[in-house]
Amino acid sequence: MVKVKDLKWKQDMKVSELVDSYEFIGFQSVELQRASDVIVKMKKDSAKVFLTFTSNMVTSGLRGFFAQLIDLGIADVIVTTVGGLEEDIMKATGEDFQIGSFQTDDVELHEQGINRVGNLLIKTESYMNFESLVDKILKELYEKQNRWAVSDMLREIGLMLDDESSILYQAAKNNVPIFCPAITDGAFGFHLYLFQQEHPDFIVDVVKDFGNILFASSHDDRKGVIALGGSISKHHAILSTLLNGGAEYAVYMTTAHRTSGSMSGANTNEAKSWGKVKDESDVATVIGDVSITFPLAMIRALDELAADGLLKGLQENRTTGVVK
């Protein structure tokens, strides 16, 4: 049994020291510290890591952090929703998002041509600029070939960008596949539809991409899942681990609760009933705002991996294809 210990502040306290102290505080702080430990374990065990997140996290300042994690070799597979990819492209091409208020007048925002995501604000003009860019992107893709698996298409788009803080750019640069099973669920999907009306032979193959995510890992691989939020991005990843024997490690972070019966609220124990996570796996479920919980847990994990000389090694392994 671990005894409760009082948290004490000290000057210049590191994030790692703070998160280490969470083990002794209680409630969700204990789960957050455990989540950080599980992330460290999955990387030290050379597990293939599936990182999943929903689009609202890309709207926020977490977008650049995700891109950095890809470049550091933390994520081997990305699964997300199309809104996040749209906004990644927007930010990569110079669009700025603003921080507003949860209590703002939404009718007034609509009249001003501003869209709200929580307390974040996106100008309608930004979407108009994005839509003009998408038309050019689709024409370039069509000139190369007329049939694309989604992840192959997203890699090609990433190669068109030039932004170190872009998820698509870093994924393409580091050969990390991005899967987006609901590619039509947004402005990008609408423009895919419009483009296909003019080019009926242009096909985006979602079914083929399901095969691609299945072959992204195997029964023999050790597998880890870091699922931020829920929805289809979380389920698509853990379904693929289920079909390949289940994950050895899983960290879920969400504001949803298990009592809803939703995918967002389903915890790691529930995943064991399906075989998505193995019975003996190391797991943690953290209830709370991911914009707070994930940076804390991940930065502490990065500090430990860096101290052990693993971050550079992870990058070298991806480049050479050697697993140590």
Segment 32-63, tens digit of pLDDT: 999 999 999 999 999 999 999 999 999 999 99
pTM: 0.92
Mean pLDDT of 159-170: 97
Mean pLDDT of 261-266: 68
pLDDT of residue 311: 87
Q: Over the stretch 267-298, which tens digit does the pLDDT of each residue have?
A: 666 777 777 777 778 899 999 999 999 999 99
- Helix or strand holding residue 267 (H, E): none
CB-based contacts of 99: which residues, under 8 Å, 6+ apart? 119, 120, 121
pLDDT of residue 314: 53
CB 53 within 8 A of CB 84: yes
Lowest-confidence segment of 174-183, 245-254, 262-271 by average pLDDT: 262-271
- Would you please indicate which residues are annotated as catalytic (active-site) residues? 276
**Is residue 187 predicted with pLDDT exceeding 50?**
yes
Domains, the chain, ordered by start: 15-92+141-320 (3.40.910.10)
- pLDDT class for 316, splitting at 50, 70, 90? low
Mean pLDDT rounded to a whole number for the chain: 92
